[in-house]
Structures are given as structure tokens and as C-alpha cells.
Amino acid sequence: MPPITLLRFLEMQKLLSDSPQLLSVIMGIAQSCKSIAREVGHGALLGNMGDVGNENVQGEQQKTLDVMSNEIFIKLAEDNPNLAGIASEEMEHALVFSGKAGDYLLVFDPLDGSSNVNLNLSVGSIFSILPRPAGDSVLVEQDFLQAGTQQLCAGYALYGTSTMLVLTTGQGVDGFTLDTASGEFMLTHPGMRIVSDTQEFAINMSNQRFWQPPVQRYIDECVAGADGPRGKDFNMRWVASMVAEVHRLLVRGGVFLYPLDSRTKGKGGRLRLLYEANPMGWLLEQAGGLAATGHRRLLEIEPIALHQRVPVMLGAKEEIELLLSYHSLKDPTA
């Protein structure tokens, strides 16, 4: 079979005939991710790897690359007539392009895992395209507060040993690798599915004493391995870069958990709903897995704030169902 470019693939998904505007937004995102990959690839040569000396709205130190990546996305959005507004992890408020009649909104985490940047470990970008609500003459921030079930396209770019773009438009999950010679994203991972039978979990174990009892139980049983109720040994990974963790789930299965803990409870969790949990959650569902908070399906949460945080449990269906069953066993505080 001849190699298939991202554009050709999206045309084959009938996006060109059904929704050329959506296709143009996706191609714009791919272009932005290529630019970010180039900046990330410069490493220390251009002095891109340090802190800016500023905190973002989340109270996190911004890295130079966080800001550069955000600017690359803003430029894409300004230039694309189909985008009416954007919201980003790095901006307190949504950016609305008054006077533009675009049908789409874009929410994104321009650089995920940026604490890994100066370690030369994998980082990524996460994006979610939402419809502009019908009938709205003036776009307002409230219009971005849509449940994950409303997403039209979601995905991530992984700046790893190679640069990959992995996305869904609701027709499964497909992965593309950047051919640096031609500058094209080529289809290399068609129809990604999460395997059901794996023995790998990803969680920040240093938070263990703060977790709720259902998560304590699930992880205790994994760690007990072949001698415990699961009857098999588990392996653990923690990259501290959600994009890399989700990519591992799609390639070789397992679970990724960032649960509620007693310190983040007041905030609702660690990861952000609109531009981290929802796009990754939809990818997982589209790959045959599940995405939950512990008590409910992630994608059904009606957001109440742009930077809202949620507990996140992503992975193979059987594992997430087990976690959900432990939660429903009763922990009224969770």
C-alpha cells in the first residue's frame, strides 16, 4: 500500500467533502505541532529550555517553550478563518476573535509535561476541537464549557524519539509519524486499539498516602502481584508527561491514573478537564478503553470553568471497570 499522508487520510475519512473547514483546522494544528517539534528539537542551542520567570494562571512556572508553543497555536488560530476562539492552559481567559465567523473553537495544552523539557524527555501538545454553539452572535467564555461528548476532533502530538500526531474524529484512533525529510505526517499507526490484557500501571506513587481508599486498594492489589488477588505481577511507569503516558497506553495497554488526593481535593484534582482529560478520554474510548473520574464517565461532565480540574483514570476497559467497582463500594468522601 502506498504511504498515506495526514491530508490524504482525512480526505479518505470524507472530511474534505463533509467538512472542509474542520479539515483546515486539523491541518493547521498539524502545522503548529511541526513548528513546536522544531523548537523543542533545538534543545539548549537556542536557550529554549529554561523558565520564563512567570507563573501561569494555574500557579505553575512557565517554561520558555510553554510560551513559545502557546504563541504558535495563537498564530494558527488568528490565521485560520474557521476558528472563532481558543482557550489554552497558558491563558487565563479564552481568546475570542471578534468579527470572525468560524464554526469551531480550539482548546489546548500547548506543551504538556513541560517539567521534562530541560531533562530532554518526551513532551507533547494536546488539543480538542469543539463546535461553536449555534445561534450565538457574540462568542463568550461560557461557550467553551462543553462536555467531552461534544468534541469533533481530539488528539495529541508527541515530541519523542520521533514526532507523532495521534487523533480521532470519532472514527477510531490513528497515528501519524512526522517524516522530517518531506515534512509530512505519514500514517504509521492505523486503527490504534488498547489491548485488554496488560499488567502495567502509571501513577505518581509519591502521592500514595493522600489517595482515596478505592485507589489505594487498586494499586495495593497491583503491587501485591502474583501473590495477591490479581494473581499476576504488574510493572510500573511514570514519565510525568501525560502525552507520553497515553501514547504508551495506546501502544501497549495498561492504566494511567491521576486520582483525587486529599491535597488536591479542594481543586477537584490535578489534570484539567477541557484540554487534558477530555481529549485524552475520547481517544481512549475511541481505542476501545474507558475514561472515568472514578465515579463517572469523564466525557459527560458539564464543565463549569475553563481551567477546571478533575480526577483522571484512563485505560483498558477491564481495569477501569474494576476501579469503578471499587469506588461504588462506598467512599462517600471521594
Contacting residues toward Mn ion, per CB under 5 A: 89, 109, 111-112
Q: Is 133 exposed, middle or buried (0-12, 13-18, 19+ CB in 10 A)?
A: middle
Between 121 and 187, whose beta carbon lies closer to Mn ion? 121
Nearest approach, Cβ of 321 to Mn ion (angstroms)? 26
Listed in sequence order, the residues at least 6 apart from 61 whose beta carbon sits closer than 8 Å to its beta carbon are 51, 52, 54, 55
CA-CA distance, 277 to 279, in Å (whole number)? Answer: 6
Assigned C-alpha cell, 331: 467512599
Between 143 and 245, whose beta carbon lies closer to Mn ion? 245
Which residue in the shown chain puts its C-beta closest to ligand AHG? 242
Between 56 and 151, whose beta carbon lies closer to Mn ion? 56
Between 5 and 204, whose beta carbon lies closer to Mn ion? 204
Nearest approach, Cβ of 99 to ligand AHG (angstroms)? 31
319 binds, among ligand AHG, Mn ion, none (CB under 5 to 8 A by kind): none
70 binds, among Mn ion, ligand AHG, none (CB under 5 to 8 A by kind): none
CA-CA distance, 232 to 221, in Å (whole number)? Answer: 10
Query: What helix, strand, coil percent values describe the chain, rounded to 5?
Result: 40, 25, 35
Between 82 and 163, whose beta carbon lies closer to ligand AHG? 163
Q: Where do contacts with ligand AHG occur on this chain (CB under 6 A)?
A: 60, 89, 109, 112-115, 204, 240-242, 258
- Ramachandran quadrant class, 228 (left: phi over 0; alpha: psi -120 to 50; beta: rest): beta
Assigned C-alpha cell, 180: 522530517
241 binds, among Mn ion, ligand AHG, none (CB under 5 to 8 A by kind): ligand AHG
